[in-house]
Amino acid sequence: MNLKDLLDNSLDKSLSDQKWHMLRQTIVKRLLSSGNATITELSSELQSSVPTVTKAVNELLAEGYMIDMGKVTNSGGRRPSLYSINPTCAYFMGVEVNISDLSIGLQNIKNEFVSIEMGTSFILQNTQESLMEFCEILNSFIEDSSVAKDMIVGVCINFSGRINSMEGFSYNYFYSENRPLTEIISEQLTIPVHLENDTRAMAFGEYREGVVDHEQNIIFLNYSWGVAIGMITDGKLYYGKSGYSGEFGHSTIFNNEIMCQCGKLGCLETEISGWSLVKQFQEAISQGKQSNVSIDENLLGLQHHVIIDGAVKLEDSLCVDLVTKQSEKIGRYLSILLNIFNPDLLVIGGDFARLGDYVLLPIQAALKKHSLGLVNRDMKLKKSTLGRRAGVIGACCIVKEKMLSPLLSK
């Protein structure tokens, strides 16, 4: 079994071979998109004779792409066999890289996790050593899983910041002028690599496997250490010309002379983000405010979790006050996006989503106050259901759809 053969659409085949190849692809596509089927169902849906479909199914069974699930139970007379895609015929890996940790997941072709590790310690630095350490962690994760490396069809890696997915460059981390980062990592893993912006991957995870029902126009807010949005329009991820869309957090909104992480003054993140929450907390304490929590300076990029926990678990007044004020403020600026995009759904995701009503209610009130009534009435507001796994799940879904595009795009 080699998925490459099944995906190969090169034309160096005779016409009858091409037709046969397409029939095999269509059967696999049908099982992937609509689930299990009998030969009679496949024959009728694909408008191909029962003997022809039986021959193709037998080939696909022998090659390991399909499995026999046994006889259908609820049919009278001679009971036919039910066939399924073989969940172990291909695997897809998703990786989310943060400033001080990373998460890795490995899913089978049915989007079921066979292995997942959340929050593995890793300090992201722009050095060759850090890049090699990163590749070693991924290689040892694969070794520790029960899956042979050549069964992993592709890896999608999420980084924050500017990512050009088409060309494989990451501009904020591990940037090299000479070679795409995808090429460098792929050489170390011996698996095709795709890069994605972290927020966009989270948005796609929620769209495929999370909170999204049938909505097709979605804004996903990644409210975490930084702030960004992922957009889905007419059921497709929106990238912009080169993939840099969604940098909501770096809109220069405030006249506060506060330097942002991006180097500009007064970005949205300077007053609304995980890192600004930490600064606001520290300022409040220095002004004599009381709190039951204290910040550990060593928790690089994670200190805002202490304040979020303070609000959720301890109902600490200062923590609750700071997060609800920020959330009301972000609601005001989200209302601008709603007026522009008129989405079906706004999903609140990222670390702040753990706050539940402490984040949702102030945002809801601010949206009602500041967005146009008609736009607000069109839209649902929901919290992410995938939580911390959104990025890894989204990455697995993105690389699966990219690698299987010869099957899925027809």
Binding site for Zn ion (CB under 5 A): 250, 260, 262, 264, 267
H or E stretch including 387?
none
| Nearer residue to Zn ion within complex by CB, 161 or 168 | 161
Two structure tokens written together for 104: 């890795």
**Single-letter code of the amino acid located at 349:** G
Q: What is the DSSP letter of 397?
A: H
Q: How far is CA 214 from CA 6, 125, 170, 235, in A?
A: 31, 40, 32, 9
Task: Provide the minimum distance between the beta carbon of 323 and Zn ion in the complex, in angstroms, as a whole number.
Answer: 21
End-to-end CA distance of the chain: 22
Task: Provide the minimum distance between the beta carbon of 337 and Zn ion in the complex, in angstroms, as a whole number.
Answer: 17
Task: Provide the minimum distance between the beta carbon of 271 and Zn ion in the complex, in angstroms, as a whole number.
Answer: 11
Task: Provide the minimum distance between the beta carbon of 244 and Zn ion in the complex, in angstroms, as a whole number.
Answer: 13
**Single-letter code of the amino acid located at 254:** F
The CA distance from 210 to 203, in Å, is 9
Residues shown for the chain: 410
Contact between 200 and 246 under an 8 Å Cβ cutoff? The reply is: yes
Two structure tokens written together for 132: 């090699």
| Nearer residue to Zn ion within complex by CB, 209 or 271 | 271
Residue written as token pair 């940790």: 101
| Nearer residue to Zn ion within complex by CB, 249 or 310 | 249
| Nearer residue to Zn ion within complex by CB, 55 or 264 | 264
Task: Provide the minimum distance between the beta carbon of 305 and Zn ion in the complex, in angstroms, as a whole number.
Answer: 21
Alpha carbon 357 to its chain's center: 24
| Nearer residue to Zn ion within complex by CB, 86 or 197 | 197
Task: Provide the minimum distance between the beta carbon of 306 and Zn ion in the complex, in angstroms, as a whole number.
Answer: 23
Please give the full DSSP string across 142-181, using - where no structure is assigned.
Answer: HHHSSS-GGGEEEEEEEESS-EETTTTEESSSS--SSS-H
| Nearer residue to Zn ion within complex by CB, 247 or 316 | 247
Task: Provide the minimum distance between the beta carbon of 284 and Zn ion in the complex, in angstroms, as a whole number.
Answer: 23
Two structure tokens written together for 125: 């630095």
| Nearer residue to Zn ion within complex by CB, 179 or 264 | 264
Strand duo 218-223 + 345-349: pairing: parallel
